Structure 1
Amino acid sequence: MTNKIEIFDPALCCPTGVCGPSVDPELTRVASTIFTLENKGFYIKRFNLGTEPRMFVENKVINTLLHEKGPDALPITLLNGEAVKIGEYPSNEEFAEWLHVNEQDLQEPASKTRLL
């Protein structure tokens, strides 16, 4: 069975971090890693507090953590329903460990297209 990863984000205008006045490199890294993993067939879901608050209420683990620690607990990562990361996003090393892949496989291949 493949591991199931769910990430519960704070309220974001977009999951990539490129929509505001300054780019958040951590959000960009996470979005890119998740995109790569999804394309390889792994189960990874993200939920945004701003657009999907019901998911935060209905998930007992998330609901409990938010009541205990407040919104600073976000982002929260669940692995097979268990909280494994609170208050920060998983590193590529953690994604690789949880999904049993090589960390190098999580990086986007460099584009071969050259801009003139």
Structure 2
Amino acid sequence: MTKIRIYDPAMCCDTGVCGPSVDPELTRVATAIFMLEKENINIKRFNLASEPQAFVDEGLIQQLLHEEGVDVLPTILVDGEIKLKGSYPTNEQLAEWAGVSTDLLTKQPKKSKGIELL
């Protein structure tokens, strides 16, 4: 099974989806990760501010940070290989790496009696 790891820069919360002005890109990524988790895809996300040990434990990330600094974040590893650094993956990239249909990550939530259902 594919293993996807996302190493985020320091953010105020685990997803970065908080505060008065939410970055739509962070919302998209958080939603995509949620949808992949629902499909039992092995995907995890680490925030430099709240989980610094994960950055130390992963040798590639530790080396990148030492050589290039925090501007390489976010960095995405897929099966231990750097796939992307300095930006978040598109839904298409996530779907490809996870081996799922892109439709899974672009579905609009269903509404039922005013409640959004995913």
1:57 aligned to 2:29? no
Distance (Å, rounded) in 1 between the aligned partners of 2:50 and 2:111: 36
Counterpart of 2:72 in structure 1 is 73
Question: For residues 74 and 45 of structure 2, what CA distance do their matches in structure 1 show?
Answer: 10
More strand per residue: 2
Structure 2: gaps spanning 5 or more residues: none
Residue 7 of structure 1, CA deviation: 0.4
Q: Once superposed, what is the RMSD of the aligned Cα atoms?
A: 1.3
Cross-structure match for 1:27: 26
**Structure 1 unmatched runs, 5+:** none
Deviations 1:15-41 (CA, angstroms, capped at 9, x unpaired): 443312311001100000000000011
Q: How does 1:36-115 map to 2 (within 5 A)?
A: 36-115=35-114
| Identical pairs, percent | 54
- Give the Å deviation of 1:13: 1.4
TM-score when scaled to structure 1? Answer: 0.91
* Mapped contact 2:14–2:50 kept (Cα < 8 A): no
The 8 Å contact of residues 32 and 108 in structure 1, kept in 2 or not, is answered as no
The CA deviation at 1:106 is: 1.3
- Kindly indicate whether the alpha-carbon contact (under 8 Å) linking 1:36 and 1:108 is maintained by their aligned counterparts in 2: no
